[in-house]
Amino acid sequence: MAKESSVNLEGDDFHATPPSPHSDIDINPNQRLSSVLLNEFNYLSWERAVSLALGGRSKLGYVNGAIPMPETTSPEYDAWLCKDQLVMSWLLNSMDRKIAEIFSYAESSMTLWKNLKEMYGNQNNAACVFQLKKDIACLQQEGKPFVQHLGKLTTMWNELNVYRLHTIDAVVLTKRAEEDKIFQLLASLSHEFEDLRSHIIMNPDLPSFSSVCATIQREEV
């Protein structure tokens, strides 16, 4: 009988209520949502990483409006406000400190999300594409295991696809072909053209290939 009782107890333990799937990160306002902090140049890749992190915690609705703010007189308001402020803390902790200071007084996580998109979501991504292409071209295995090397390349290719979405639009493809020529030309320049290279890349609208060539020739003279 004692042995049978022991078996039953073990069975009860086995069928006990499992631990909550939510970890401490779901209640810790000091956590980051992305290992890469938001800066002036990486909004698209940051936005995707943060969206995935919020979606995995069932909190994406706080920034995209799917979980709207209840009326302040509603009994659900306090619970909503607590979670919304938690999401805001996560977002602010996932930014460069200087950027976080700019947006630290946002009224809600959705307002913060919209303001970030307005400021950084429509900027020229030429600098990001140029740096990624340069890094991909220069990447070497250098004794690392092939799987690790392939993983690094795949990450960079995927990030490049974020900035350059797949398209069959002939106009867009022609523009990208000219951009690639500009990037290859700029990457091949000597170090004394570094300031000029940065100036060209950071233009709101990337100049044409012929315009870039003329600018380089004037600088050389």
Q: Where are the alpha helices (DSSP H) in the chain?
A: 2-14, 43-56, 61-64, 77-93, 97-103, 109-120, 126-138, 146-163, 170-188, 194-201, 209-220
Nearest CA among 111, 157, 2, 4 for reference residue 149: 157
pLDDT band at 73 (very low <50, low <70, confident <90, very high): very high
Q: How far apart are CA 111 and CA 102, in angstroms?
A: 13
pLDDT tens column, 88-141: 999 999 999 999 999 989 999 999 999 998 888 766 678 888 888 888 988 999
> For the chain, what is the mean pLDDT?
83
Percent of the chain whose predicted confidence (pLDDT) is above 90 = 45
User: Looking at residue 26, what is its pLDDT?
Assistant: 63
User: Quick one: average pLDDT of 17-28?
Assistant: 50
pLDDT tens column, 129-183: 888 888 898 899 988 899 999 998 998 888 888 788 888 999 989 999 999 999 9
Distances (CA, A) of 52 to 9, 34, 55, 58: 41, 10, 5, 10
pLDDT at 16 over 70: no
Give residue limits of the domains in the chain.
27-120, 126-220
pLDDT band at 6 (very low <50, low <70, confident <90, very high): very low
Residue with tokens 């600098």: 127
Distance of CA 128 to the CA centre of its chain: 12
**Burial call 65-90: b when 16+ CB within 10 Å, e when fewer:** eebebeeeeeeeeeebeebbebbbeb
